[in-house]
Amino acid sequence: MNQVIEPILTRTTCPLCQSDIVLTWYVDNIPFFGEIVINSAHCNCGFKYADTMVLSQREPVKYTLRVESLADLDARVIRSSSGTIRIPELGIDIEPGSASESFISNVEGVLCRVEEVLGMVSRWIDEPPRTTDRAHEILTALDEVKRGVRAITIIIEDPLGNSAIIAERAIKQELTPQEAENLKTGMIVLEKDDLPESLR
């Protein structure tokens, strides 16, 4: 029987309204990622935060998948908070930042996430016309990909090795130390010894 680990509660300040909020931390174990620490918080002002920190570190990795058919849209995508997603044909680079979150989805789900961001940009009236025009161009291209009439390449690079594309045609490569060093991690890397004893 697995030991139940009680969550740890810590206090911090809401970045929006400066009120005190509670961060909840707990350890879990999930396929592929292994042992992780999940933390979350919410504030009465509407601010919400959730993140997953992977306790293990693997070799820096790069996955590449050529998306050429509707079937390729179903390929599983595992993106850790240290993963960078690129779609070179469309000039899209999604790099991790301080609020990056892990997710498990598929190629179509990744495209939908990009569409949500571009949809907001395309409606901003104070943006230069070339910016909104470019957003509309990419939205059109993404729609063509989702209908199977345009091919793209999905690339995931992760200096901590915790991201992946799960598909037969996905190509996995190890990154050189220099390539890994040039990537953003968007996170604080924790060793187990750095965690409170109750979370180890």
Q: What is the pLDDT of residues 30-43, one digit of tens each?
A: 766 677 788 888 89
106-158 pLDDT tens trace: 999 999 999 988 887 666 656 666 777 888 899 999 999 999 999 999 999 99
Q: How far from chain centre, in Å, is Cα 43?
A: 23
Q: Is pLDDT above 90 for 4?
A: no
Task: Look at residue 2 and tell me if it is in a domain.
Answer: no
3-state secondary structure of 92: strand
Task: Look at residue 195 and tell me if it is in a domain.
Answer: yes
Between 129 and 190, the higher pLDDT residue: 129
Structure tokens at 161: 């090795």
Q: 195 lies in which domain range? A: 8-199
Identity of the highest mean pLDDT range in 21-30, 37-46, 52-61, 144-153: 144-153
Task: Look at residue 3 and tell me if it is in a domain.
Answer: no
* Local confidence band at 197 (pLDDT 50, 70, 90 cut-offs): very low
CA-to-CA dists, residue 96 to 30, 49, 84, 193, angstroms? 21, 15, 6, 25
Report the pLDDT averaged over residues 171-182. 92
Task: Look at residue 32 and tell me if it is in a domain.
Answer: yes
CA-to-CA dists, residue 81 to 6, 16, 77, 113, 177, angstroms? 24, 22, 13, 15, 19
Residue 194: what pLDDT?
A: 42
Domains in the chain, number:
1
* Local confidence band at 191 (pLDDT 50, 70, 90 cut-offs): very low
Closest to 180 measured CA to CA, from 58, 79, 88: 58
Report the pLDDT averaged over residues 89-103. 81
Percent of the chain with pLDDT over 70: 80
Question: pTM for this one?
Answer: 0.70
**Mean predicted lDDT score pLDDT of the chain:** 83
CATH number of the domain enclosing 175: 2.60.120.1040
Task: Look at residue 73 and tell me if it is in a domain.
Answer: yes
- d(C-alpha 94, C-alpha 161), whole Å: 17
- What 20-23 contacts at long range (C-beta under 8 Å, 24+ apart), as own/partner pairs, is 21/47, 23/49
Task: Look at residue 173 and tell me if it is in a domain.
Answer: yes
Report the pLDDT averaged over residues 52-69. 86
Task: Look at residue 1 and tell me if it is in a domain.
Answer: no
Task: Look at residue 134 and tell me if it is in a domain.
Answer: yes
